[in-house]
Amino acid sequence: MAASLVYEGKGWALADDHISCALGRQSFQLGKSEEVLEHYKKLLRESRQTPQQQAVYMKEFLSVYRDYTNKTEADPLRETFPDFPLPVVLGSTARILLSTSQSTTEDSEAWTELESGIQSSSSSAGGRTVSTVGEYILATINVKNPLQIPLILTDVILGCEHSTSTTTFTVPVDAAEEAHLALYDQQSPSFEGKVSFNAFDCDRIDRVILEPGQTRTLTFEILPKKEGQIRVMGLHCNVEGQVHAYKDIVKRGKRLNKTKEQMMSMVYEEDKSLVILVAPEMPLLDVQFHSSPEMLLSGEVCEISLEIKNRGKKGLKNLTVRMSHPTFFCIGEQRDTGDLGLYNKGDGNRAVEIVQVDNSLQHSTAHRILGTVLAPGESIKIPSWLRGEKIGKHNFLFLFSYESEQEGTAMGTRTLRHAVAAQVLPSLKINAFTRPSTKGLNEFILGIETENLQTVPVFEFLQISSMSASWVIEAVGKSDASSNSIHVL
């Protein structure tokens, strides 16, 4: 014991481990199980021990803890072991996301640019994430195995608390223990993979294997069922199927640096990023592109269908979309089945057709989709077209914004992120030239040169269409329909 006081705080890891092991075994000989556990839990941390030695320490700790719980008649999976060091929870990595946001680190700058002109209400309540009753929320947290041996976690779940107030949040001292007991009582085969509480449902991960030194991201779904606030406070898990551990999730806010006192000391503001404000029921948008190709040729136009559905409990209005690649997509209007607007196919008897097109200027990335109210549970399909504008691999980003038909709601504009990937392959190289015609003063001869940039496919020209407000194109020579086809090799 005297040696432990001498070496304590010196940073000599191997010496500390040797002393803790010696004190633990001495306490075991004296029958002091609680002291054995206190000394042995110091060995279950990141150190210079060999994997074989750490495996021995883990086996001895679990053996002593099993004997201790049998002696005290305690349930090891119901009683929380205080300050258990495993696993290491990296609180700074904890994030709360709306399940419909597709929020990832990829294309973060592009998403930020699209969202710059929209006042979204999903995170406008003092740093809290704003959700609605019945809308799934994703919570992610990184956990680490500091040992050099594998670590098995079972029945992993977030420790959350609900408050009916939307302005203040008071958490009882034993909130973590109450949440754990509620979790323990509800582990039944009839609700596998989830735990249902009074105000929300939460995912339960049955089994996680952490390899030596591995850091892994865990994702949980939370479904609010009542208005108020939900705070993510910690993580519950069973280690090696024998020890229940609860780890607080601590996340600091921004450092305060305004006053002299704040400058002289490390003072941080309260972090509210792990608090979810649950508002009353709202419309909930769900979008899906049908028949969207993964690969298309340069210049190819593919007809696709945009399906819009309101999965919420309120009507949806003012639906708008902003696109990262507006020159690739054309989103049409809601039409009857089979009506494709300008892309309707005719018999081709008329060589020239006069069509009046709305050519009004609008924002290059914003497009108004729906001018009417979309009722709860209702869905519509809107004809759209994808054109291979530029060769390469592209990730098309869509930011949909909408509002509730009910005025004066707690939430204003809501947003939904959606991404579609496609690859555009080379097809034809086309060069057009003109020269004055000898037949008429105001006539020109238009020539088109084409080159097949592909090595395998053969392209066949079936029709050449043009559009102009001043000119009309006619074929130079008349021939039968069979000779109008041109093969490009």
The answer on pLDDT for 482 being more than 50 is no
Is 81 part of any domain?
A: no
Structure tokens at 337: 């089945």
Q: What is the pLDDT of residues 143-195, one digit of tens each?
A: 999 999 999 999 999 999 888 876 555 544 444 555 555 555 544 433 457 78
CA 299/CA 389 separation, integer angstroms: 6
Is 113 part of any domain?
A: no
Residues 189 and 235 in one domain: yes
DSSP 164-211: S-SS-----TTHHHHHHHHHHHT--GGGTTEEE-SSEEEE-EEEEEEP
3-state SS of 102-150 is: CCCCCCHHHHHHHHCCCCECCCCECCEEEEECCCCEEEEEEEECCCCCC
pLDDT of residue 481: 44
Mean pLDDT of the chain: 79
Domain around 213: 88-100+135-255+266-276
- CA–chain centroid gap for 147, Å, is 30
Question: Taking the model in full, what pTM does it have?
Answer: 0.71
Is 127 part of any domain?
A: no
**What's the Cα-to-Cα distance from 428 to each of 1, 218, 300, 327, rounded to whole Å?**
83, 47, 10, 19
**Burial of residue 468, with CB atoms counted within 10 A of its CB: 0-12 exposed, 13-18 middle, 19 or more buried:** exposed
Structure tokens at 470: 């001043």
Residues 396 and 414 in one domain: yes
Residues 40 and 161 in one domain: no
Residues 160 and 239 in one domain: yes
Residue with tokens 């819009």: 308
Residues 421 and 433 in one domain: no
Secondary structure E strands in 410-467:
414-425, 428-436, 444-452, 459-461
More confident call, 291 vs 465: 291
Structure tokens at 13: 């890891």
Q: What is the pLDDT of residues 302-347, one digit of tens each?
A: 889 999 999 888 898 889 899 888 889 888 765 555 555 544 545 5
Is 122 part of any domain?
A: no
Residues 196 and 331 in one domain: no
CA 205/CA 218 separation, integer angstroms: 9
Is 351 part of any domain?
A: no
Find the CATH number of the domain harbouring 167.
Answer: 2.60.40
* Structural domain ending residue among the three candidates 425, 450, 465: 425
